[in-house]
Structure 1
Amino acid sequence: MSKNEQSQKIADDEILFASQKRTDFVVDKNLADVQSAPLCNTAPSKYSTTEVLRAGVDSLYLSFRGELRVPLLHKLDELKEIAKGARCAEERQPTLQLAGVPFKVHAKGRHVYPFVISNKHFSVCIAGSSGFKAPPAYIEISSELLTKYGYENCLDMARTLAKHIFTDCDGGSISRFDLCCDFITELDWLSVPSLAWVCRSKKRSEYRESNVLTGYVFGAGGDIVGRLYDKTHEIELTEKGFFKGVWREFGWDGEQRVWRLEFQVRQQVVKSIDCTTPEMFIELMNSVWRYLTEDWLSLRDVLPNDKNRSRWPINANWQTLMQASFNLVGIEDINRARFESFPSDYSIFTGALGYLTSFMAKNEFSSLDEALEHFQQSAQQHFEHDEKRVGTLEQYVSKKLAEKQTKFVQLVQGVESEK
């Protein structure tokens, strides 16, 4: 296909998408009433075995425009060079403080951005010149932060960071968002016939492990990507165990498999539905979800005698998911002036004392004071003689401390921007 044909196809697809969008993409102050209204195909069915636990924003990508702080760019340039040289394990990666929060400075940029800084909750790309065509700063907010502290609170945090990057900047624009819904169900996905899935994209992938279905992906590589997958299985493979505590807050029994329906919406679609303004997105969130789960992707009850699949009734379980309501608050107390993501004292002391009592048993110490007195000396000797270790005990501690300072961060909101 030629470039002209490709451009024409993209244009045609945009026109098709715009012409077939739901009319409730406009700002509707009565969205709460719309959400509770019966669906267009059938009334909500009593035969649904699906129950929604929670729904929310899973990822948020914000771009900011304004005048970058020149001293900050000089500092980033300096720290990036240090990061390039810190190749050995014993060398400490440089960190940068923004709004009282430590960020790791990366040795490499990302795409067209020469500077990248990150910690557990934020990844920030920063331009290096005034002639930059893309937005000068790009902030990605983590799923954990959005889940725990809510959309509006996280937006305020990102704007606080932006004030420390720019001398003057706008309120940010949404470049991409992910909406998700976590639920439990008795529906056997393997029993769902392939024809029952009705999607605007022709791309669909199915994932299994030992003949156990773990999920689907719809529209991979497109401006909208839908994912339906076993979230409990996914968090067993990742560091997202915090979701278990979140689900329990919403009534999860700790045993049932939790599934997630998630949609990734990229910039082209974000613009077409007027969701670039963060405040406008708040108004449109439920309408966007309704479009994604009814017009873009849906699960239907197959009618063999009707070849028009768009007329097939929506499956009762899917209707339950369509009616998920998006609140914007997190499970934490978002009225606090700061957020903390450090481990609890319980986990710190339980973990530390677990290893310390093992040290006591191995070395036949009977008292805690005696063990503490010898612990540092034994650790020093270990680093001096163990062939697997590179560097000294002091270098190792310094390196691990720097990692924890960027992993467990504390952000004080309302901090005045740097002069």
Structure 2
Amino acid sequence: MSNEKQQDAGTDARAGGEAGAPDGQAGAPPSITAPANSIRPLRHGVDSLYLSYPGQLDRFVAILLQELKEAAQSFDEKVQGGAGWSNGEHDLAVSGRGRGRFSYVLEDGWFRIELANATAKVLPLAHVQVRSEYLTAVGMEEAISTLDRLLPEFGEVEGPASLSRIDLFVDFVTDLNLIALPGGHWVKRSKKRDIHEERDYVTGITFGAGNEVSARLYDKTVEIRKSGKDYLKPLWRAQGWEEGQTVWRMEFQVRREGLPESLKIPASETVPLLGLLWRYLTSEWLRLAIPSDSDETRSRWPTHPIWDALSVVWDVPPDAAPLVRAPKTRKPSDEAIFKSGLWGLSSFMAREGIHRVDEGLGEFLQALSVYYDSPESHEQRRLADYMERKARAKARRYNVRMKDDDRE
């Protein structure tokens, strides 16, 4: 990461490279005076949502949560496997650790719920992160409604949820290499500007990192190659995106301290006002401008047409289809399981000089059983028991019920 002055010089030198071309292939240099003055919005919405619920944890629930927390800390994986909170609709894994001043942490594929101890006097009952994929599937209103039904199981909720943090975003396609523009084109409230690179390719810019308001403009197609959030691709395709096109994300992160006073209201009441918040952020907090040689007052510089188009995207409701569903579980993908699982099998086959997978698999399972079940084995534990303990412990982390679980 380099400072702004270094980056401005670097982006001027690299201006011949296309934004979506990490291989360094040359393209037309971006020009602020003759740009591709359009964007194609693909999707906009709330990417991250953190809520605070006032109230008090029930003391009997606190005793049960403490027991589950201690079970999650156990060295016995069979005991760990029972460290989960279930109410018939949700199977929440209980962490062996709290977070900060919050004593208990419960999570699944939809929520991460941090609960204060029953003796806490100044903390809220709960601080909740709503996961991005669930927000994409159901939207902010339904997510809050689900939590409003769930949180009273843990104690007395003394008021509606309020926003602790909200991240608004727009995904879009454009021909203009936005991040290759020098820093002087950005009129911003924050002085801090950081550049992110990967193998000499600029993947994004962050404005005001760590502040009560911050912003990121970044190559989302690069990011999902790391995060695995491929669920976004069908949603983009529905809006005309084609594989290989660079998708940019403009994202603002706003903590409660950075919210306008008009939005420090119950979280459910802020939904119709989020378009106004986006307009404020893209006009008052950050703006892409066309510099003027005759006027040194940056606030008077005209707004770039790209930014004008971006600032009004939130004026209309999202027309992209939502996800069909978002899983409550946090199961690993087939790719993650089978790639790691085949390492041991292929190593065994190589050691034994076996090239046929059916023969190798049979020999591998037999040798595995001997290794664990033989009286001479230093492991001295039955393979079946070992695998059951491992599976139950991992099922808790993945929010999955075992098929023979009595709770079903």
TM-score bracket relative to the smaller structure: 0.7 to 0.9
Instruction: Note if contact 2:110-2:327 (Cα within 8 Å) is conserved in structure 1.
Output: no
Q: Of 163, 174, 178, which residue of structure 1 is paired with 2:167?
A: 178
1:407, CA displacement in angstroms?
Answer: 3.1
In structure 2, distance between residues paired with 1:295 and 1:270? 13
In the alignment, what sits opposite 1:22?
Answer: none
Do structure 1's residue 395 and structure 2's residue 386 form an aligned pair? yes
1:405, CA displacement in angstroms?
Answer: 5.1
- CA change 1:329–1:364 in 2 (3 A) is closer
1:301, CA displacement in angstroms?
Answer: 1.0
Q: Of 248, 254, 260, which residue of structure 1 is paired with 2:249?
A: 260
In the alignment, what sits opposite 2:102?
Answer: 113
- Greater Cα shift, 281-290 or 324-333: 324-333
Instruction: Note if contact 2:172-2:247 (Cα within 8 Å) is conserved in structure 1.
Output: yes
Do structure 1's residue 92 and structure 2's residue 80 form an aligned pair? yes
Instruction: Note if contact 1:175-1:270 (Cα within 8 Å) is conserved in structure 2.
Output: no
In the alignment, what sits opposite 2:323?
Answer: 332
In the alignment, what sits opposite 1:103?
Answer: 92
Number of aligned positions between the proteins: 355
1:103 partner amino acid:
L
What pairs up with 1:199-278 in 2 under 5 angstroms? 199-270=188-259, 272-278=261-267
In the alignment, what sits opposite 2:26?
Answer: none
1:255, CA displacement in angstroms?
Answer: 1.4
What pairs up with 1:261-410 in 2 under 5 angstroms? 261-270=250-259, 272-325=261-314, 326-327=317-318, 331-333=322-324, 380-381=369-370, 392-404=383-395, 406-407=397-398
What pairs up with 1:24-63 in 2 under 5 angstroms? 47-63=36-52
- CA change 1:328–1:403 in 2 (3 A) is farther
1:125, CA displacement in angstroms?
Answer: 0.7
- CA change 1:330–1:405 in 2 (3 A) is farther
- CA change 1:312–1:237 in 2 (3 A) is same
Q: Of 186, 203, 207, which residue of structure 2 is paired with 1:197?
A: 186
Do structure 1's residue 166 and structure 2's residue 146 form an aligned pair? no
- CA change 1:46–1:204 in 2 (3 A) is closer
1:321 partner amino acid:
L
1:305-361 deviation digits (Å, cap 9, x = unpaired): 111111111111112211112549961357xxx9666889x979x979x97xx99x9
1:395 partner amino acid:
Y
Give secondary structure in 1 for the equivalent of 2:191: coil
Unaligned runs of 5+ in 1: 1-44, 411-419
Instruction: Note if contact 2:290-2:303 (Cα within 8 Å) is conserved in structure 1.
Output: yes
Identity of aligned residues (%): 29
In the alignment, what sits opposite 1:26?
Answer: none
- Greater Cα shift, 323-332 or 196-205: 323-332
1:168, CA displacement in angstroms?
Answer: 4.5
1:135, CA displacement in angstroms?
Answer: 0.7
Give the alignment's TM-score, normalised by structure 2.
Answer: 0.74
Give secondary structure in 1 for the equivalent of 2:190: coil
- CA change 1:300–1:59 in 2 (3 A) is same
Do structure 1's residue 136 and structure 2's residue 125 form an aligned pair? yes
- CA change 1:315–1:190 in 2 (3 A) is same
Do structure 1's residue 187 and structure 2's residue 179 form an aligned pair? no
1:332 partner amino acid:
L
1:275-312 deviation digits (Å, cap 9, x = unpaired): 43123211210000011111100101111111111111
1:69-110 deviation digits (Å, cap 9, x = unpaired): 222211111121222233x77873522224532222222211
RMSD value, Cα: 3.9
1:139, CA displacement in angstroms?
Answer: 1.0
1:254, CA displacement in angstroms?
Answer: 1.7
Give secondary structure in 1 for the equivalent of 2:287: strand
In structure 2, distance between residues paired with 1:396 and 1:65? 42
In structure 2, distance between residues paired with 1:242 and 1:323? 26
1:134, CA displacement in angstroms?
Answer: 1.6
1:138, CA displacement in angstroms?
Answer: 1.0
Instruction: Note if contact 1:99-1:164 (Cα within 8 Å) is conserved in structure 2.
Output: no
1:147-174 deviation digits (Å, cap 9, x = unpaired): 1221112112222221221245433111
Instruction: Note if contact 1:174-1:270 (Cα within 8 Å) is conserved in structure 2.
Output: no
Give the alignment's TM-score, normalised by structure 1.
Answer: 0.73
Give secondary structure in 1 for the equivalent of 2:109: coil
